[in-house]
Every structure is written in C-alpha cells, then in structure tokens.
Structure 1
C-alpha cells in the first residue's frame, strides 16, 4: 500500500509539474481558423438556442463541445456593415461603413462604394504568419475591382461579391441574385443548391490545405432570401403549416448539414483538435421577410433592439478551450479578429487598433472579460449602447429606450424616465462617441430609414411556437 501510494504521488506530481511547466512554454502550435457565418438566421432557430421546430444537430454538437456565449453580439443589424466589423475587428462606423451596401446614391463617388481600402482585413493580418486565406460564399463588401476579396488578403475565392444569391441558378451575364459564381482556382460548375455548394467547396479547401495553417471564411447565404429549399428538406418539415416558415426551416436544416460537413472534414483530416471554429449569424433574423424567430428577443434585422444584433455565438477549439462551457460574459463579433490573430501569431502580435478584444485569456482561464463591458452601435437612424446589464437605444421619433437586460431580456419595460440618471449617463457616452465618428463613405437608399423606424413598433414572437 505504501509503495502504491508513493508511486501514485510521483505520477501525480509529474503530471502537475508537466502541466505547470508546459503552460508557461511558448505556444508553437499553428492553429487553423474557420469562421462560419450564417446569413439572417433567427436567434431562436437552432436547437441549442431553444427551437422547438428546427433540428440542427451539427451546430448543437459544435456548441456542446465548445464554448457558447449567451450574450453574443454583432456590430450591426444588417449584412454589409456587420461583415465589415467582423472581418476587421474594428467597429465599422469608425471607418465610415455605417450603411448597408447597395446602389450608389446621388452625390457619392462610386469609387468608394465598398469597405474602405485603408482598412486591413483579418486575411491581410494573417498573411505575415504564413496563413493561406480562403473565402467561400458571400462577400458583400464592394463589387468594384479594388474591393475584391482577392485584393483584400484572400488567396482563394469561390463565391459572389453581392449581398444575396439565388440558391439554384447563376447566369454567366446575370445580375443581382443571378450573378455568376467566381473562382480563381477552378472553373465553377453549375450550382446544385448553393448551401451544399458552399459546404462542398469548404471541404475541398480544408482537404487541399490541411498540411498548412489556413483561415477559412465559410460565408453562407442561408437562410437569406430568396426563400428556396430542397424538396427533400421541405418534406421533413411538412408539419409546419405556414409555407414560408416551412421553407425557412428546411433552409436552416440544410445549413446545419453543411456545417456538419465542415466539422467532419476537420475530423477526417486529423486537424479538428487544433482548429478554432467560430459560428455566428451576421445579424438577427428578418422575421417579416424570411419567417425567422428571434425569441426570446424583440426586434429583427435592421434595428438595434436585441432581435437585430443578439446572435448565436460559438467558439470551439478542443486543444485549448473548455468543452461544454456556457458563458454569460458579453462578447462581440469584433472580438473574432483579435482572437484569431492572437492564436495565429502565437502571442507575438500587439493587437493594436482593434475595437474588439482577444478572448483567449478568458477562454483559457488566465483572465476574465470585464463584467461591465461597454459596447456601442450605430446604424443609420439608430444608435445604442450596452454597459453591464443596461442598454439604451435612441432613435429619431421618440424619447430614449432604457432596458435592464438581466431582468428584461425581451426589452418590454422602458425604464428611461424612472432611471433618468442612467439614461443621461449612457446618452452622454453615446453622444460623445457619435460626434467623433467620420462621415459615412456611402449611403443606402433613403427609403430604408423609414422602414427601419417602423420596425421598432412591430409585434414580435417572443416564445417558441407550439409543436404542430
């Protein structure tokens, strides 16, 4: 018994010494980086966020085996500015990318109709560390040649530069949703179903680059309009009576299948352990156009209530991050770029100039994210600030709206007058920030402002539907 106990003590000491010693060694691992972005996904439309209708086993497993942030945000309520923030780590309004990207407006120079060239992308920042960078899917950060992803740090591109695409058809001379698929490394085949095509191209990218560090931006357009689904997926959701909701559910189901393909490819190629996979949506679901549900949050795409900016947020890196952790700390899509760069540079980058923060210290237990973290938003007519549990939203036609998100996550009880001291303090912070911002470098059509204002008065589904 004494000998057995002595041996156990030696082994235990060795393990503790090894873990302590290795923890202090420089990290020489080259981590792969995968950023999976859904398009217009409703917060409440995944299994792990509470959906009672849509089955998403692959995304749910990614959450269960990684870290899930219940307080995860994007930096804008619509596609293009949100993507400008996440691909740079800088709040996009701080370099003039306030509006959504659409047709050029009178008085503006079309040469500036895209993410400013002065701004480095995550792909630019990863190049010095030997990363091969691939974008598969949607770009939406400028269609003019100077804004092309291959001129913004990406080595490979398969996809389209616009804001949305038909799921079944791309035409050689097509415009809008029928624009052609581009690729600089192969001749694109005709589309089958674009969600599957994006998934398959991601798998191909992983297979080709498994022996070198890579950054893969898996930029899906599902479940963005047009509402188009495969018959086999529609059949799985035939119990949903609303046709648009049924189509939406089928589209999200197919998205989940292709997220599964990506994860399986990492496993099959033996690189999942050292690959950081992030899953988010670019903004909240546009409930009025794609039948998404942002429950329990009020609001939708286009506005700064929680339903427009509060998104599913998963980080999964088996070699470094805990498994199955659910964090209530407030995080932002602006944190993705510094987190990726810190891993890629093995701590050598100074991480200067980011609006976001490196999440690695909090995920590995060395420090925690500031509990009273302050995040600000501005999108055309709307501006908002969150400080701790308090969130203030300001729009042109009414007094400010103040909510305690811990007690009122659905933002139903406006405390602006009751808590006037907090209202004034947050308004001052927001105002000081806003007047320091540059002018937008382009604008979207004026008709969108009126529509955004009306969305604050809509009634939103705050609970999951009854099972049909």
Structure 2
C-alpha cells in the first residue's frame, strides 16, 4: 500500500509509520491508466450492442466498473480531442480547435501543436509524485517544444504523428512509416503495433508497480491504415465486406490487449487500487474504416452524436461499485479534474482551471447530478451546444438544427422552427461563448472543411450489421 509522499515523510518524522500505515486506504494514491482507442465506433463493442464484434475484455472492464451511456469527447477528431482530454480544458479555449496537419500559409509553424502554456494531466500528476508514461500516439505537435517528454511525461515509447503502419517503421520513414522513438530503450522492430503497445504497457506497469503511476495507453487501433493479422482476419472471415472484416479484426486485437493490461494489474496485485478509463478519441469514421456508430447518426469530423458520443468506461474497485450504468452526460474534460482529485491535488486551487468536473462525488452519490449541465463544441466550420435534453448544431450553409435527444436519438427530427424559443436561447448561449474564444493557433487545410459539411448529408446506417 502506498501513501502520498508528503504524508509518508510526516509520519516517518513522527516515528509512528507502522501504526498509521495499517488500514490507511483513504489516503492512498491510485494508479491511473487512461486507455484511448482511435476512431472506434460507438456500436462496435459487444457491450454496446455489436452483433459482429466480440469484445469480452472491454466488456469485463465495464462490468467491473461504470459504463457511461452519455459519454462525450470535446472534439470529433483526434488532435483537438486529445488536447482537451489531456488538459481538462476545452481545447478551443486555447486555440486548438483544428486537427493537426501541415502548416497553413500565414501561420507560424512554431505554434503548430498544443500550446505550451497548457498544463497536462501528466504535469499535474508528476507534481504529486507520480511516474508518468505515454505508450503510443501523441499527435499534439512534432516540434521539440511540443514533445511529450516536455509535457509532463517521464517516459515515451511511440510516435509523435497522427497514425502509424501496424507492421513497419523505417529508419528514415515519414508519415505512417516514421520510426518509433523511446527515451528508455531502443525500440524493437514492430511485430504488430497493437500488440507491441500492449507489451510496452505491461512493462511500464511492472517497472513502476512500487510507486504511483499514470499510464497514457494511446492505441491507434482501429485508425487507418486498415491492417490486421492473418489469424485475426480468420476469426472474422464470415464478414463479407473486406474493410469491415479488417476493422473487426483490429478491434478484436485492441480488446485482447486491454485484457492483457488488466491481467497484468491482477498478477501484480494492483487491480483494486488502479483507476482504469477506456474511451475513444472520437466517433468512428464510417466512410473510411467501416466502423459503426449505431444507434447514432454521424461520424468522425462532425458534431452529430456519431462524431462525439463515444464508448466511455471507468473502473476503480477500491472506490467505485461494480457493474453500474451512469446515464447522465459526462465529458472527457471531466477526466483531468477527476484524476487530480483522486491523486490528492487541491481542488480549491485547481477547480477554476478546468472545463470539466470531478466525477467521483457524482458517482458515489454524495453530489446530485445536474441534468441541465451544459456542453459546448466548436470545430472548424461547426459548433454545437447541449443543455439537458436539447442539442443545437450550427453550420455555415443552413439553418441551425435542434434535436430533443431522449425522443430522437438518431437526430433526424429537426425541431428548430417548431421550438424557436429553445433555438434562440441556445444560439445565444453558443454565440456568447463563441465570440469570446481566441483565434485558432493553427488551421487544417480547407479541403477538410468542405468534406465536413458534406458528412452532415451522408446516408448513415444506424443499426447493427448482422
């Protein structure tokens, strides 16, 4: 059992450590593991209704903890979503509301990444005595000032770009073939990248088992390129569509490695004192990786539910009841304040710096949920607001869209003109917030904005494939 370090020092100085240490579980700092899938469809976990893909280990994680049925991310694409996730601050409030790509004319490339002014979860937990590590995808800037080792992480094994080949890295490779890097070992040759990441997560846990640790397990499955092992493809040979078959195999391999992480915690006798969160960085891009976001309409890149409503699971056996379902809306922005609070950070100082809320009082029932809690999004050409049961989406080429989510989960019945009172009120709140936001510190290419508009008109399949 581990106690906060300052507390341990005080006890040692008092000469009564053996007496106080017994049963002092309320002062224990939990290990924290944040597992992030990449481009995973909401409907592609068996616990979320998938009829094709079996995910027993992720399902078991949910049964050992809490499944959030109304879990959101703060952006519908990788980089801004991760910027919000890792800071606990809505990323548009510090100018990170585009996806990272090549630098656009007129912008300073030195700012092409998550602003260095922002404090990450790793920064905060490191200051509280945690060993911090990231395994996998970064995608928050490639220049030295943005590197994860300068953003609070002690250890890094992975790549700084937005995706990677699953079978190959080249010494002088670019893009998806860029070399893997590590500050604590010479990276081994890739076998299958999802498995290699699992190996590194397991090694991290074993190395740091005797101290509080924060592990950011940043998988890239099932992000493109669509590559799976032959054995996993065989498991899903009954799926006729080749891309969907490959996707299913990739999700299967992700699930297996979640299971390996959880089994390691059990073997090291750390499972009960470790908070594990599983989440996807955004909705599945159904048009590129054959994912399925059922029952939601939309996909990665847009603010319909299919782009931002994601699988969201939390397990912490020492503190939270098992096999629970939490039905009130929550956000990935809530994770940072939750982690800091559990680690012993001062909420009187930290509370005002986060966009999200510490979830623990809600989950333990000591604080009433706020059904009218407000969530706001802005991403390039689009913006949205959810307040209670109502959600409004604002686009540049049409009237605003208003949906009553409990009765219209697929967002097909636009009530903007029928409920002008709500439309006007939400537009005003969204606009008042929007005009106070800073300019983006970088932009993605204009071809992406045109594509995003078109995705609002795509004919989505909103049921589970057989």
TM range (shorter): over 0.9
- TM-score, normalised to structure 2, is 0.94
Where 2:252 maps in the other structure, the secondary structure is helix
Residue of structure 1 in register with 2:144 after alignment: 145
| Larger mean Cα displacement after TM superposition, 121-130 or 175-184 | 121-130
- The answer as to whether partners of 1:28 and 1:346 remain within 8 angstroms in 2 is no
Distance 1:143 1:347 in 2: 32
Paired positions, count? 442
Residue of structure 2 in register with 1:413 after alignment: 413
Alignment pair present for 1:48 and 2:47: yes
Residue of structure 2 in register with 1:251 after alignment: 250
Distance 2:452 2:263 in 1: 40
Distance 1:27 1:131 in 2: 17
Residue of structure 2 in register with 1:14 after alignment: none
Residue of structure 2 in register with 1:389 after alignment: 389
Distance 2:63 2:458 in 1: 34
- The answer as to whether partners of 1:37 and 1:220 remain within 8 angstroms in 2 is yes
Matches within 5 A, 1:26-425: 27-345=26-344, 350-352=349-351, 353-425=353-425
Q: Over residues 401-430 of structure 1, what are the superposed CA-to-partner deviations in whole Å (9 max), with x where a residue is unaligned?
A: 000001111101000000010000000000
Where 1:351 maps in the other structure, the secondary structure is helix
- The answer as to whether partners of 1:295 and 1:464 remain within 8 angstroms in 2 is yes
Q: Over residues 180-203 of structure 1, what are the superposed CA-to-partner deviations in whole Å (9 max), with x where a residue is unaligned?
A: 000000000100000000011000
- The answer as to whether partners of 1:95 and 1:438 remain within 8 angstroms in 2 is yes
Deviation at 1:329, TM superposition (A): 0.7
Q: Over residues 1-46 of structure 1, what are the superposed CA-to-partner deviations in whole Å (9 max), with x where a residue is unaligned?
A: xxxxxxxxxxxxxxxxxxxxxxxx9931110000000000000000
Deviation at 1:349, TM superposition (A): 6.1
Q: Over residues 306-361 of structure 1, what are the superposed CA-to-partner deviations in whole Å (9 max), with x where a residue is unaligned?
A: 00000011010000011111011100000000000000116666323100000010
Residue of structure 2 in register with 1:4 after alignment: none
Question: Structure 1 stretches of 5 or more lacking a match?
Answer: 1-24
CA RMSD of aligned residues (A): 1.0
Where 2:34 maps in the other structure, the secondary structure is strand
Question: Structure 2 stretches of 5 or more lacking a match?
Answer: 1-23
Deviation at 1:362, TM superposition (A): 1.0
Deviation at 1:369, TM superposition (A): 2.5
Distance 2:25 2:155 in 1: 31
Deviation at 1:127, TM superposition (A): 1.5
Where 1:350 maps in the other structure, the secondary structure is helix
Distance 2:349 2:461 in 1: 44
- The answer as to whether partners of 2:95 and 2:440 remain within 8 angstroms in 1 is yes
Where 2:114 maps in the other structure, the secondary structure is coil
Q: Over residues 374-407 of structure 1, what are the superposed CA-to-partner deviations in whole Å (9 max), with x where a residue is unaligned?
A: 0000000010000001000010000000000011
Residue of structure 2 in register with 1:6 after alignment: none
Residue of structure 2 in register with 1:9 after alignment: none
| Larger mean Cα displacement after TM superposition, 373-382 or 120-129 | 120-129
